[in-house]
Amino acid sequence: MTQFFTAVLTSLSSGAIYALMSIALVLVWRSTRVVNFAQAGQAVLTTYIGYEVIQRTGSYWIALVAAIIGGAIIGAFIDRFFMRPIFKRVTSGPIVLIAPVVATLGLLGIIEAVIGVVWGLNNQSIEPPVSNAGFNVNGTVIAFSLFNAFVLGTVAIAMILLTLLFQKTNIGLALRASAYSPEISKLSGIRVDAVRTLGWAISGAAGGLAGMLYVPSTYLFPNAMDVLLVFGFIAAVIGGLESMVGAVVGAMVLGCAINFVATYISTALVFPTAFVVLILVLLVRPSGLFAGKKGRSA
Amino acid sequence: MLKHSKSKHSKKIHSSIDSPRKRLFLFILGGWLLLILSNQVGEFSLYQGAFVATYAVGIASIILLTGYSGQLSLGHGALMAVGAYAGALTINSLQWHPVVALIMATLVAGLFGLLLGGAVARFSGPYLAGTTLALAIALPSLANQFPILGGEQGLAFDVGASPARFGDDFSPYKWFFWIATLAALIIIWFVANIAASRFGRTFRAMRDNPIAAQLCGVNVARQKVTAFAISSGVAGLSGGLLVMLITGVSPSVFPLSLSLLLLSGAVVTGLYNLKGVILGGLVLVAIPEIAESLVTRIGGSENVANSLPGFLVSALLILAVMFTPNGPEHIFKRKH
Amino acid sequence: MNGLIVNNLTIDHGAIRAINNLSFIAPRGKLTAIIGSNGAGKTTLLRSLSGLKDVKNGSASWNGKSILNTRPENLARSGIMHVSDGKSVITELSVKDNLALAGLWRKDKKDVAAATVEVIELFPILGERIKQNAGSLSGGERQMLAIGRALIARPKLLLLDEPSLGLAPLVVEQIFQTIKSLTTKMDLTVVLVEQNAMGALKIADIGVVLNLGTVVAVDHAQTLLNDPAVRAAYLGI
Ligand SMILES: Nc1ncnc2c1ncn2[C@@H]1O[C@H](COP(=O)(O)OP(=O)(O)OP(=O)(O)O)[C@@H](O)[C@H]1O
Ligand SMILES: [Mg+2]
């Protein structure tokens, strides 16, 4: 019983981190029609920034803020000075279908290589701001800690803030409108390019937050976020790529599947489980759980 | 404009491979030249040449799938793994001839691709990319679960010594080179034929305009599965060759980065350009070498040495997308 | 010179010449109808005037300021609103949000609110549907929403692309009448592109007949309505 309960809690807290990554990918997909693989690089780079801030100030909290802001700046920068020129240049031929994705893969490689040069390949660690030791329930230590609770709470707050931003503010309306129909938005006077860059910034901030919440439980190295990116992407695909609610649901489904298999069967089956969940969902709904009614072809 | 440039593409394809007989002749000539060459160069170059051929086969599988049928796979490393394990089992458990093992690698991976493609080929762009990406990380880790596949240690893949009639001074590396080169030539020839056939035309029509293709009576779903299966088989062969060169197969041979490396090779080559696969293979083999010599020359730290190859591949990938998006040939013919 | 002046405009879609050395004037405060059959180049013309399509040859100015090859969002902000063809609403957003789009960037929020009220008075049905998704509206309602959205920006020049497309005759009549009254009441200059030549010429001040990307006739709308050649070719009478 305790085991089951613990599995639910750990599912939620790892699902929460997948959800952040998944939302980061969905935000960019909706506005730019690109699966941004560089997000793994952006997130790990911002986490290294957080790491450096901790080395200098000793404060996780300052580092957290720095990573979020840093993530936003890096995201905006990449859209403005990397993606936009690529979209301008590559307009014909068979490559058009995959050029943006390939470009983000290339960028991922570059970011990770640069990190490797600056910080090396060795594992670094970030101390969790609150205890990461499992709670003691009636004498048994469970696999859920205060830090896990902190992760869950932080992500929940981030989700609420994002939802408010998107649903209740003018900027949110511009973000949604530009994603659904760039042309009509432009004709209505909205600076769609700037709005898109803002979307990348928010996405980068979410990635930075994900990194700062994920790394304290493991280690920091150049490829530290790759797995998170894959899980985030799978979660986004399960959720239908378009929808932030879908991204969160997809992440929770994935988190549960992975943690339950890890708890009850074997930790070695984590990746195959992710694959099986993904393919089962897509076989039933080829565009994910929350895809819009009108199928977009891109 | 768009239409115009497309017709140009197809014309180029046809002129480069206009008649099957001429093609066959060219390939035999090419193979013969390469084998002659193999007597002139050192052991290490032969070994690297074998890698070039292996990567070329892998890149050909991507070109077939992405360039011709418009499906993006991020998981061809997994399909290589399927081929590699199938080949290893053929050698180790059935004790069959290594050449048969490579054929088995192709067939089993092709069959796997057929089954997988049956499920996933109807997924559109990012969904297919996501599924294949998940496959790339899932499948190799699954190999650990089955004792027959050797766990982390994996299995040996020993193609044995060269046949006695080639003589005593016929080194193992030369033997690798011969096998890999021959396989690469056959595959390139095979893929070129497919590209020029009715199949290839259908693939392209499907990629460029799936709805129109469907209305013209093309069974898009089936064609996609076919492309997926053939591409998987070719990838499986490349996996078999790869583990032949490193004489063993284990899950760690097929990291996600392998799938991405192949994609890079295909993009650098030009997604449409079969003749370029050798060039792509060369680039993939040359980059670590270049990185190493750069580091020894300018004396970079260990960090630089470890990161430089990845940096170079990625930079090349981005430059290729930016400046020669449809292959190096287009540098000279871009303005049309 | 006040109004929209288009001079020697030539636009290609790759190998296809959609607009060929086209010139016309849409005087300020007037309703100019541009009529022509399928493929005459009407949509291409409007898209170039609203910045959606870049142009290499020719010029176009609005109240003396050149407008070609300008970003559409900047043109929109300077008072040139283009209601593109096909009932251009964002179906995923509510009616309210669709209307709000054209006011997001405006500083004068009070006036945005006033304009919204005016639009709802003009098209009461939008008020009833205000919380619904635009995707659930009928074709006529969507057209009203698209025009209404443009009005929120307090435009000076309104470019309308086939507002009658696919609508029932009664609805077409209503929309045309609204367009006409807008022109006179709001000091609007309207360029109305239509295949429905009869309906458009009836409400317009000036008529421009387009064929294969060039102007084949310009005159007072009333004169064109009575011109036997135009009647035969475009009015089907
Ligand atoms: N994006 C495009 N690419 C290629 N050709 C185009 C494009 N848009 C329009 N054309 C061509 O340009 C010509 C003019 O098209 P346009 O859409 O401007 O006509 P239209 O007068 O609006 O027609 P309709 O009344 O059917 O809307 C047509 O021959 C059309 O095929
Ligand atoms: Mg039109």
| pLDDT, tens only, B222-258 | 888 988 999 999 999 999 999 888 888 888 888 888 8
Probe residue for ligand 1, chosen from C43, C46, C209 as the CB with the greatest number of ligand atoms within 8 Å: C43
pLDDT for residue B180: 87
pLDDT for residue A94: 64
pLDDT top residue among A112 and B255: A112
- Kindly state whether residue C97 falls inside one of the protein's structural domains: no
| pLDDT, tens only, C135-179 | 999 888 999 999 999 999 999 999 999 988 888 888 888 889 989
pLDDT for residue A40: 94
| DSSP E strand stretches across B108-163 | 155-156
CA dist., res. B329 & res. B336, Å (int): 13
- Ranges A111-115, B49-53, C194-198, most confident: A111-115
Amino acid identity, position B47: Y
- Would you say how long chain B is, in residues? 336
The whole-number average pLDDT for the span C35-45 is 89
Amino acid identity, position B178: W
CA distances from A222 to A52, A99, A108, B292 (A): 14, 24, 10, 20
CA dist., res. A174 & res. A195, Å (int): 7
Q: Token pair for residue A115?
A: 């990190």
pLDDT top residue among A288 and A75: A75
pLDDT top residue among A1 and A134: A134
pLDDT at A139 over 90: no
Task: Round to the nearest angstrom and report the end-to-end CA distance of chain A.
Answer: 46
Amino acid identity, position B89: L
Using a pLDDT cut of 70, give the percent of chain C over it: 98
State if residue C87 touches ligand 1 by the CB under 6 angstroms criterion. Answer: no
Nearest CA to C192 among C22, C23, C16, C36?
C36
pLDDT for residue A130: 92
Q: Which of A11-15, A188-192, B316-320 has the lowest mean pLDDT?
A: B316-320
What is the ipTM, given to two decimal places? 0.92
State if residue C129 touches ligand 1 by the CB under 6 angstroms criterion. Answer: no
For residue B75, give its domain range: 49-258
CA dist., res. A42 & res. A277, Å (int): 27
How would residue B11 be classed by pLDDT, with cut points 50, 70 and 90?
very low
pLDDT for residue B81: 93
How many CB atoms within 10 Å of residue A52?
17
- Kindly state whether residue B325 falls inside one of the protein's structural domains: no
Q: Which of A6-20, B62-76, C114-128 has the lowest mean pLDDT?
A: B62-76
pLDDT for residue C153: 92
Nearest CA to ligand 1 atom 3: C13
Nearest CA to A231 among A14, A83, A64?
A14
Q: Judge: A233–B133 Cβ closer than 8 Å, yes or no.
A: yes
pLDDT top residue among A156 and B255: A156
Strand duo C16-27 + B155-156: pairing = unpaired
- Kindly state whether residue C139 falls inside one of the protein's structural domains: no
pLDDT at B2 over 60: no
β-partners of residue C27 are C3
pLDDT for residue B202: 78
Q: Which atom of ligand 1 is nearest to the CA of C44?
A: 18
- Kindly state whether residue C72 falls inside one of the protein's structural domains: yes
CA dist., res. C3 & res. C188, Å (int): 10
Task: Round to the nearest angstrom and report the end-to-end CA distance of chain C.
Answer: 37
pLDDT for residue A48: 97
Q: Which atom of ligand 1 is nearest to the CA of C14?
A: 4
The whole-number average pLDDT for the span A136-144 is 84
- Residue C213 Cα, ligand 1 centroid: separation in angstroms? 10
pLDDT at C130 over 90: yes
pLDDT for residue A39: 95
- Ranges B119-133, B204-218, C189-203, most confident: C189-203
The whole-number average pLDDT for the span C177-196 is 89
Residue owning tokens 């085991």: A3
The whole-number average pLDDT for the span A42-58 is 96
How would residue A114 be classed by pLDDT, with cut points 50, 70 and 90?
very high
pLDDT for residue C196: 86
| DSSP E strand stretches across C14-167 | 16-27, 31-35, 57-62, 65-66, 80-83, 157-161
Number of domains in chain B: 1
The whole-number average pLDDT for the span B140-168 is 76
- Kindly state whether residue B282 falls inside one of the protein's structural domains: no
C-alpha radius of gyration, chain C, whole number: 17
Strand duo C206-211 + C31-35: pairing = parallel
Nearest CA to A120 among A38, A222, A189?
A222
pLDDT at B185 over 90: no
- Kindly state whether residue B278 falls inside one of the protein's structural domains: no
- Which CATH number does the domain housing residue C34 bear? 3.40.50.300
User: Which letter does DSSP use for residue A242 in this model?
Assistant: S
pLDDT at B191 over 90: no
How would residue A297 be classed by pLDDT, with cut points 50, 70 and 90?
very low
The whole-number average pLDDT for the span A286-295 is 68
pLDDT at C90 over 90: yes
pLDDT for residue B326: 64
The whole-number average pLDDT for the span B193-219 is 77
Chain C, window 3-42: residues with a beta carbon less than 8 angstroms from a chain B beta carbon: 13-15
Find chains touching chain B: ≥3 CB pairs under 8 Å. A, C
The whole-number average pLDDT for the span B318-325 is 80
* Burial label, A48 (beta-carbon count in 10 A; 0-12, 13-18, 19+): buried
pLDDT at A294 over 60: no
- Kindly state whether residue B19 falls inside one of the protein's structural domains: no
Closest approach of C147 to chain A, Cα-based (Å): 11
Q: Mean pLDDT over all residues of chain C?
A: 90
Domain boundaries, chain A: 2-297
- Kindly state whether residue B304 falls inside one of the protein's structural domains: no
CA dist., res. C50 & res. C7, Å (int): 15
CA dist., res. A194 & res. A171, Å (int): 11
Residues of B in contact with C13 (CB under 8 A): 1
Q: Give the nearest partner residue to C101 out of A183, A188, A292, using CB atoms.
A: A188
How would residue B70 be classed by pLDDT, with cut points 50, 70 and 90?
confident
pLDDT for residue C95: 95
Residue owning tokens 């994002």: A162
For residue C224, give its domain range: 3-88+155-235
SS3 C65: strand
pLDDT at A291 over 80: no
pLDDT for residue A111: 95
CA distances from B310 to A108, B95, B209, B287, C11 (A): 10, 38, 35, 9, 46
Residues of A in contact with B9 (CB under 8 A): 93-94
pLDDT at B13 over 70: no
State if residue C234 touches ligand 1 by the CB under 6 angstroms criterion. Answer: no
Question: Could you give the strand order of the β-sheet that contains C3-13, starting from the edge strand earlier in sequence?
Answer: C16-27, C3-13, C57-62, C65-66
CA dist., res. B126 & res. B122, Å (int): 12
For chains A and C, CB pairs below 8 A equal 71
Q: Which of A90-104, B23-37, B52-66, B136-150 has the lowest mean pLDDT?
A: B23-37
Q: Which atom of ligand 1 is nearest to the CA of B1?
A: 4
Nearest CA to C199 among C228, C159, C155, C167?
C167
pLDDT at A296 over 80: no
| pLDDT, tens only, B251-307 | 888 888 888 888 888 888 887 777 778 888 888 888 888 888 888 887 778 888 888
Q: Token pair for residue A169?
A: 């503010």
CA dist., res. A203 & res. A68, Å (int): 10
Amino acid identity, position C120: I
How would residue A96 be classed by pLDDT, with cut points 50, 70 and 90?
confident
pLDDT for residue B4: 42
pLDDT at B152 over 80: no
Q: Which of B9-18, B298-307, C184-193 has the lowest mean pLDDT?
A: B9-18
The whole-number average pLDDT for the span B323-332 is 61
Measured in degrees and rounded to the nearest 5, phi and psi for residue B202 equal -65, -45
Q: Which of A148-157, A168-177, B181-190, B293-302 has the lowest mean pLDDT?
A: B293-302
pLDDT for residue A141: 84
Q: Mean pLDDT over all residues of chain B?
A: 80
State if residue C48 touches ligand 1 by the CB under 6 angstroms criterion. Answer: no
- Kindly state whether residue B171 falls inside one of the protein's structural domains: yes
CA dist., res. B113 & res. A286, Å (int): 19
- Ranges A5-9, A259-263, B130-134, C94-98, most confident: C94-98
Q: Which CATH architecture has domain A2-297?
A: Orthogonal Bundle (1.10)
pLDDT at C237 over 70: no
Q: Judge: A183–C84 Cβ closer than 8 Å, yes or no.
A: yes
User: Which letter does DSSP use for residue C194 in this model?
Assistant: E
Number of domains in chain C: 1
pLDDT at A220 over 90: yes
Dihedral of the CA atoms B8, B9, B12, B14 (nearest 10)? -110
Amino acid identity, position B169: D
Directed axis angle between helix A192-214 and helix A2-32, to 10°? Answer: 160
pLDDT for residue B12: 43
Measured over the CA atoms of residue B317, residue B322, residue B326 and residue B327, the dihedral's sign is: negative
pLDDT for residue A199: 95
Nearest CA to ligand 1 atom 2: C13
